[in-house]
Copies of this chain bind each other. A is one copy, B any other.
Amino acid sequence: MTHTFDIAVIGATGSVGETLMQLLDEREFPVANLHLIASDESAGRSLSFKNKSLRVSALESFDFARVRLAFFAAGAAVTLEYAEKARAAGCSIIDLAAALPAQQAPRVVPEVNPEVLARLSAPYQLSNPSAVSIALASVLVVLREQIRLQRVTVTACLAVTSRGRQGAAELARQTAELLNARPLEPRFFDRQIAFNLLAQVDTPDSDGHGVLERRVASELKELLDAPALKVSATCVQAPVFFGDSISLSVQAEEPVELATICAALSTAPGLEYVESDDYPTAVADAVGQDEVYIGRVRGGLDDPSELNLWIASDNVRKGAALNAVQLAELLIKHYL
C-alpha cells in the first residue's frame, strides 16, 4: 500500500492554488487529507477536489501539526508570517513566493538542482524560483552539459497572470474598452497594458534594476551553482494572458556546435524542442503543458561562441504550481 500524506494548500482560492489542486489530482499525488486554506475573506467557500467538495479554512486558526507538508501559494507576506509556525509544528513547506532567504529555503527546480535536498533535514523548507528562472534554468542546465556558460542576456516578456487574477482582469477590461472606443483608465497596471508593452514589471531600485530582474540573476546562479555566470535580465509586461515568452542569448567560452546542442535539447526531460522550420509560442504551445518549449535555436551572426533561443513556458503551471508539486514529489519519494 502506498504511503499517503496529509497536506495543505495555503492560498487555495488563487489561480496558482487552483492549478496546484488540479496537478495534485492529475499526477495522483498520494494525498490522505487535503486542507484548503485561505484568508479570512475566502474561508467558508467550497472547492472541489477529486469529485469531493472541500471547505476552505481560515489560515489564522489553522494548526500546521495536522499536515506533513504545506504549499504556500498566498504571496510573500503570508509566507513570512506563517512559515515559522509551520516549521515549529514539524510541517515541511514549499514556498511558491520564495519569501524566505535562500540559505533557509533554497530555490530548487527538480530537473536542475535536486541534490540540494540531501543537504537539508526535516522539516524541509524549499522555495520555487520565479517562473522566469524556472524556464531559463531548465534550458541552461542542458546547455551547461555542452558548453561552458559565460554570460546570459535575457529579455522576458511576462504574461499578466504573473500578477494574478487582477492582472488578467485588467488586460481584459482595458482591451474591451479600447475595442469599444471608450476612454481608457488604467487601474491595476500603472498605464495602458492593452496593445502595449510595459518596460518593467515592478519598481526598480536606485540602480535601475527591478526586483524580479535581480531575482532572476541570483536564482540562475544559485540553481546552476554558477556564481561567476554573468546575467543581464530585462523583465517586461506583455499584453498576454497566459504564458511567458523569453528571448535568451548565451555566450559560451568556446564555439558552439549547434547540432549537438539541438540534439541535447530535443532529448532533455521537461523540455519540448521545436525544430527550426516551426517555432513555439506561449499561447498556442506552452500554455497548459508541463514542458518548457524551446525554439529558434541558432548560433551567432558575428560570434561562433554565441547561442540564441526563444523559450515559451506556462507561467502558472511549470512556472509555479507544477514545479512546487514536483518538489513535493521529490520530498515524499526520498525524504519525508
* Chain A interface residues toward B at CB < 8 A: 151, 153, 155, 157, 171-172, 175-176, 179, 191-192, 195-200, 204, 207-209, 213-214, 217, 229-234, 236, 238-241, 243, 245, 247, 249, 276, 279-284, 295-303, 306, 308, 310, 312
**A196-B240, A208-B298 are known contacts; what are 10 more A-B pairs with Cβ within 8 Å?**
A155-B234, A176-B179, A197-B240, A199-B312, A200-B296, A204-B296, A233-B301, A234-B296, A239-B239, A239-B240
Please state if A296 and B208 are interface contacts (CB–CB under 8 Å).
Answer: yes
Establish whether residues A301 and B214, one from each chain, have CB atoms under 8 Å apart when the complex forms: yes
CB closest chain-B residue, reference A237: B281
- Report the bound CA distance from A303 to B239 in whole Å: 31
List B contacts of A198 (CB < 8 A).
Answer: 279, 281
- This chain: copies in complex: 2
A232 touches B284 (CB 8 A): no
7 contacts between A and B (CB under 8 A): A153-B232, A155-B155, A192-B283, A197-B245, A208-B298, A232-B306, A236-B310
Asked whether A191 lies within 8 Å of B281 as measured between CB atoms, the reply is: yes
A274 and chain B: residue at smallest CB distance: B199
Contact at B199–A245, with CB atoms within 8 Å? yes
B231 touches A282 (CB 8 A): no
Q: How far is the CA of A326 from the CA of B93 in the complex (A)?
A: 62
Do A200 and B306 contact each other (CB < 8 Å), given the known contacts A209-B298, A284-B191?
no
Say how far A310's CB is from chain B's closest CB, in angstroms. 4
Contact yes or no, A234 B310, CB < 8 A: yes
Given contacts A249-B234, A281-B191, A281-B198, contact A209 B240 (CB under 8 A): no
By beta carbon, the residue of chain B nearest A303 is B230
A229 closest partner in B (C-beta): B302
CB-based contact B195/A308 at 8 Å: no
Residue pair B217, A302 in contact (C-beta under 8 Å)? yes
Q: Determine whether the beta carbon of A295 is less than 8 Å from that of B232.
A: no
Residues of B within 8 A of A204 (CB): 276, 296, 298
A213 x B301 contact (CB < 8 A):
yes
- Who on chain B is nearest to A191 by CB? B284
Query: In the bound complex, how far is the Cα of B175 from the Cα of A283, in angstroms?
Result: 13
Contacts of A276 in B (CB 8 A): 204, 208
Task: Tell me which of B191, B199, B217, B301 contacts A295 (CB under 8 A).
Answer: B199
